[in-house]
Structure 1
Amino acid sequence: MNRFSKTARLTAFFLLTGAALSFAQQTATGFVFHDANGNGKKDRKEAGIANVSVSNGVDVVATDARGRYQLPVGNDNILFVIKPSGYKVPVNELQQPQYYYIHKPAGSPALKYKGVAPTGKLPSSVDFPLTPSEESGNFTALVFGDPQPYTLDEIGYFSEGIVAEVRGIANIAFGLSLGDLVGDNLDLHNPYIKAVKEVGLPWYNLMGNHDMNYDAVADSLSDESFEASFGPANYAYNYGNAHFIVLDDILYPDPRDGKGYWGGFRKSQLDFIENDLKQVPKDKLIVLAFHIPLMHHEENAFRNADRQRLFDILKDYPHTLSLSAHTHLQRQNFYGKADGWRQEKPHHEYNAGTTSGDWYSGGITGKGVPDGTMRDGTPRGYAFLNISNNQYTIDYKVAGAPKEYQIKLFHPKVVNQQRGTAAGIFANFFMGDKSSKVAYKVGNGNWKKMTYVEEADPAYALELFKWDTAEELLPGRRPSNPENCTHLWRGAVPKGLPAGEHVIEVRATDMFGRTFTQTGKIRYELPK
């Protein structure tokens, strides 16, 4: 872990470049207030709002009875209000929530992609407007994993294949994208923002490893362009009875060797989480959102000490959920005591399927958008996080398919009626995990339990073989090689059913107790 603070590194940077600025720490003050006339400014008669959390990215304080706060700031801080339940923050014309003030008197250091322009002197009062808003404890948020366009053409695929499907969607509180908003070209952040604006919802974003300034000399400077486009990379807000904490969990450059990146948090980020939660009642649902999954099984993916401190901070909060993306697979990860989780009930992390799927690979669909099925056989899509008080369910929606489509079947189309076959009936239950109950029946047979397997989805492998055996170039791009699927089940093909067509029925029950079904057809024939 780098022991120098962001402020100290920026101080050194500007001293070296001859910037004649005073870097003494200052105190920021201001009001969180009821913006009765909606002009964004605190007018004389507008009342402050008490007991609202405000942060400088590390410290968190509550406003006093007059709605006033005080916080220390250096010369590289973003001040932000932590939106309380029952209020809304303004959004700009691009549907971006306006809840923060960037304080960088000298602006960002020179980087390939532009950061924040100099903000000048700290205002005498940094105020945050809120307006009352009815918020039900029952609400739904729309969640996007990895849009990750590398080109304007891919922005078009994202717009046509995902955004167009949810444009104007009703009864959704807000949207949240889980990082890799673009693919390394940070000039695409603005086209991405314009694309997602069309959904018509207040939209929150977090930073992925492809949203970073790769020429940054320190991790704390890798988010300069992100901050210019989206505001703080670490922040929090409340909605209903849920408290959302959004985090940058990419350490770059990797502190082990200065090359690449590593999953983890700086000490200041973990201090922010701890300070933030001091203001949050224990019965709230705590939803953490970050890009790289906590990956309990290998130290190479995520720094274990950071995950452990996070788990220690959360130990007294019985209702928690983590959201991540990054893998371009869909998984349900559970962290128990062996992983350092300090409660009886394991911590659930939903590692979400992506809107770009397998990086916009595969054949071209009727809409002109690549198929994009992911390496575990999960089709590209997006998720709905449904919250009821401090409980939640998650729905995955396959892009371009009915919402009921939750299981993909793979099985023989025809078998010899007189002989058995080693072929199997496979069910890829997109939101499943190894504890899911999955059963099947063929024709008039009895329901039988399917066996959980971790292997490549044969339906995905078959598509790949089409690319590898084609004698002419196919439109689109060959998908990635398959990865083992963590939500796949197998059943045997029954022997000796009467000749003719039989219906295969599969039913799967998810972790929330909801049952989904899918059907297919298999034909038994006598040999010719």
Structure 2
Amino acid sequence: MRAGLAALGAVAIASSTLAAVAVQTTTAMPAAAAPADKSDWNADAYRGKVEVVPGDGTDGDGRTLTGRVFLDGDRDSSSDRRERGVAGVLVSNGRDVVTTDRQGRYELPVHDNMTVFITQPAGYQVPVDEHNIAQFHYNHLPAGSPELRYGGIEPTGPLPKAVNFPLVQSQATRSGDQDCVIAGDLQPYDKTEVGYARAGAIADLARRNDYASCGALFIGDVVGDDLSLYKDVKELTGRLNGPVRFLPGNHDLDYDAKTPEHSFDTFRARLAPTYYSYDVGRTHVVALNTVRYPCTPDVDNADGQRPNCNDPVNSPSYNGRLDEEQLKWLERDLAKVPSDKLVVVAGHIPLLTFADEGSARHQVDQVREVYELLKGRKAVAVAGHTHSIENMKTGDLFKGWRDIFGIEGLPFPHITAGAISGDWYSGEPTDKGYPVAVGRDGSRPGVLTLEIKGTSFKERFTVTGEKDDVQMQLGVNSPTYRQWYVDRQAWNKNKQGPAPELGDTRVISRADLTGTTWLTTNFWMGSTGSKVKVSVDGGPAREAVRTQRARGEDQLVGPEWSDPHAVARQLVHGGSVADRTMHLWRFELPADLAAGTHRAKVTATDAHGRTFTETLRFTVVEER
């Protein structure tokens, strides 16, 4: 998904007339990880590749691929007799899933277009290349891709004599304590936006050293349609301090592919399989391809809810869907995973989302089948695509999920991970080298981290350029603001006369108070189970009200339900408009507040008991 980008003007970051001043005072969350010594990662990283032993077409029967998974003692990526095989490793051709024998050997049926990959076992590490990209797969496409603008897969020729997968032992991946970075929607459309990512979230990750074991998983829309930018993305990931893996998104497509079979060939050639799994500690990560392109009326629109799929020849489009081969693979993969592991289900298009809860194409058709495969397991789903943050807990429900999919509540937590690009790199520039890019839900750009201990986890969102304890923003939603919202939106559509000015939102008139004024808290990772309390001028702390309770209601949309701090930027500097969000709390200010300056102390407590405190100072006047 991409909204229209507003031109970046030479303006300073929002002035006090457009932003409420929120000053953090205390937090119970650990500080950000200490800066990493990059030389340590470079010294320890296992660099190598999959060993492909060429065949001449006369080896074996041509219908079976063989090879072994081996412990690469000398780290040269080449199997020799002294290096023992690793038993019990899962190997797949994207359909079948087999387990290596005592000597590390496997056999798999051959298909003309297949990706063969292993599931990294806990206690071992697959090699990474010079860009830190995990190497654990081999593409087999004898004749190569059809003609594609960005090249696709070169002809692989005859079936190899063997494909051998090297591993090294790793105490780090054996540990039950893991920090796993989930990076949503990097999505640069040009080299300027690559620079924004480099100066922003990539620079932040380059200073962290907490994810060297689990690594960073980029969950789709790695680039924005221009697949030649994969080269630039690799330069970015080469700066990180851990293994890097990728999933495809709807902007990673070979748009000139005529069938879904080849729609991600360039992604496969440059980055990764379109789906796979890997283990760290007691966690099994299932990385899914949730994008089908071009979608077709017979497969994708049998129920009439995805009319965008009706003309794949003249108007090709995508849909959130798993193909049947992938669904079978998922069933077979999970069947070999112990039931006491935590399963992280990652995809680009979410299984379900609040942002697009009424849209079938932006959620996954087979969500119910996935739930059935995970029944009885401890699981969490993570996704991107919507450029918003959503922390949804077990039991949460929105109207569209019931209407479209017959879902009556989430069986396990779902997290939409936000985006490195934020609102597609829109909005006013900052002095840090990237735009503000405030999201459609009022969130800011950044990355998600799953802090896993055993089979339990805590989610953490790190805002680009900020410490971990920056978790919310405060604003004032008054009648004056709501009228400005309407007037400014109309002016933006038809720019006649001077632009309506909002003024200082922290100045509140008596008429504002009697007409209902709320102090708003956008608590980005706030969820069911979170609480927000407000104390005015040192008085008793009282609970704010969450605008979306996630109990089966539809989206609440408009100025009354918006984040005024975000909208004040967006309607002036461009980008999406935060007119709905699932993590906004409101506290109605008393109508009889005395004239003068007041101080509101806001304490937000997340579902894990972590607390964050910020303050907002505002002034009440009798008349404007």
Identify whether the pair has TM-score above 0.5, normalized to the shorter chain: yes
- DSSP-derived class of the 1:347 partner: coil
Identity %: 36
CA displacement 1:183-239 (0-9 Å, x = unmatched): 101111111121122123210110000001111111121110000111311111000
Distance verdict in 2 for CA 1:214–1:403, change over 3 Å: same
Mapping 1:197-208, distance limit 5 Å: 197-208=238-249
Distance 1:93 1:348 in 2: 35
In the other structure, the counterpart of 1:8 is: none
Conserved 8 A contact 1:182-1:189: yes
Q: Deviation at 1:246? A: 0.6
Conserved 8 A contact 1:312-1:341: no
Distance 1:280 1:48 in 2: 21
Q: Deviation at 1:418? A: 11
In the other structure, the counterpart of 2:567 is: 461
Distance verdict in 2 for CA 1:525–1:97, change over 3 Å: same
Mapping 1:352-431, distance limit 5 Å: 352-411=417-476, 412-415=505-508, 420-421=513-514, 422-431=516-525
In the other structure, the counterpart of 1:330 is: 389
In the other structure, the counterpart of 1:29 is: 66
Conserved 8 A contact 2:112-2:140: yes
Conserved 8 A contact 1:54-1:81: yes
Conserved 8 A contact 1:418-1:496: no
- DSSP-derived class of the 1:188 partner: helix
- DSSP-derived class of the 1:394 partner: strand
In the other structure, the counterpart of 1:193 is: 234
User: Which range moved further: 332-341 or 294-303?
Assistant: 332-341
Distance verdict in 2 for CA 1:377–1:345, change over 3 Å: closer
Distance verdict in 2 for CA 1:79–1:435, change over 3 Å: same
Mapping 1:275-354, distance limit 5 Å: 275-295=332-352, 297-298=357-358, 300-301=360-361, 306-317=366-377, 319-334=378-393, 336=395, 346-354=411-419
Verify: 1:71 aligned to 2:112, yes or no: no
CA displacement 1:402-438 (0-9 Å, x = unmatched): 3211110002523458994422101100011354222
Distance 2:227 2:90 in 1: 31
Distance verdict in 2 for CA 1:418–1:117, change over 3 Å: closer
Q: 2:320 aligns with which of 263, 266, 269?
A: 263
Mapping 1:7-22, distance limit 5 Å: none
In the other structure, the counterpart of 1:513 is: 609
Q: Deviation at 1:316? A: 2.9
Q: Deviation at 1:479? A: 1.4
TM-score (norm 1): 0.89
Q: 1:209 aligns with which of 236, 250, 270?
A: 250
- DSSP-derived class of the 1:191 partner: helix
User: Which range moved further: 429-438 or 263-272?
Assistant: 429-438
Q: Deviation at 1:509? A: 2.1
Conserved 8 A contact 1:245-1:286: yes
User: Which range moved further: 41-50 or 335-344?
Assistant: 335-344
CA displacement 1:4-62 (0-9 Å, x = unmatched): xxxxxxxxxxxxxxxx999x961011111111111111111111111111111111101
- DSSP-derived class of the 2:413 partner: strand
Distance verdict in 2 for CA 1:502–1:118, change over 3 Å: same
Task: Could you tell me which runs of 5 or more consecutive residues in structure 1 were left unpaired when the two chains were aligned.
Answer: 1-19, 468-477
Distance 1:341 1:389 in 2: 33
Conserved 8 A contact 1:140-1:387: yes
- DSSP-derived class of the 2:163 partner: coil
Distance 1:410 1:299 in 2: 30
CA displacement 1:434-475 (0-9 Å, x = unmatched): 5422211111211111112242211122123434xxxxxxxx
Distance 1:419 1:117 in 2: 66
Conserved 8 A contact 1:295-1:301: no
In the other structure, the counterpart of 1:91 is: 128
Mapping 1:151-190, distance limit 5 Å: 151-172=190-211, 173=213, 174-190=215-231
Distance 2:127 2:463 in 1: 32
Conserved 8 A contact 1:102-1:231: no
TM-score (norm 2): 0.75
- DSSP-derived class of the 1:208 partner: coil
Q: 1:132 aligns with which of 161, 169, 173?
A: 169
Q: Deviation at 1:524? A: 4.1
Distance verdict in 2 for CA 1:360–1:299, change over 3 Å: closer
**Match for 1:207: what amino acid?**
P
Distance 2:594 2:257 in 1: 68
- DSSP-derived class of the 1:372 partner: coil
- DSSP-derived class of the 1:126 partner: strand
User: Which range moved further: 417-426 or 207-216?
Assistant: 417-426
In the other structure, the counterpart of 1:9 is: none
**Match for 1:396: what amino acid?**
F
User: Which range moved further: 301-310 or 61-70?
Assistant: 301-310
User: Would you say how many aligned residue pairs link Structure 1 and Structure 2?
Assistant: 497
Q: Deviation at 1:526? A: 6.4
**Match for 1:464: what amino acid?**
Q
Distance 1:444 1:494 in 2: 14
CA displacement 1:271-308 (0-9 Å, x = unmatched): 11111111100010000110001237446225765112
In the other structure, the counterpart of 2:543 is: 449
In the other structure, the counterpart of 2:577 is: 481
Distance verdict in 2 for CA 1:394–1:104, change over 3 Å: same
Distance 1:445 1:497 in 2: 12
Conserved 8 A contact 2:394-2:411: yes
In the other structure, the counterpart of 1:13 is: none
Verify: 1:50 aligned to 2:87, yes or no: yes
Distance 1:65 1:123 in 2: 22
Q: Deviation at 1:117? A: 1.1
CA displacement 1:323-375 (0-9 Å, x = unmatched): 10101111124565986799997321101111101101000100231111101
Mapping 1:103-114, distance limit 5 Å: 103-114=140-151
**Match for 1:46: what amino acid?**
E
Distance 1:358 1:345 in 2: 27
Distance verdict in 2 for CA 1:250–1:417, change over 3 Å: closer
**Match for 2:569: what amino acid?**
E
Conserved 8 A contact 1:312-1:342: no
Distance 1:483 1:328 in 2: 14
Conserved 8 A contact 2:112-2:141: yes
CA displacement 1:121-172 (0-9 Å, x = unmatched): 2222211111100132111012211011110111011111221122142121
Distance 1:242 1:195 in 2: 27
- The Cα RMSD (Å) is 2.5
In the other structure, the counterpart of 1:475 is: none
Distance 2:229 2:381 in 1: 27
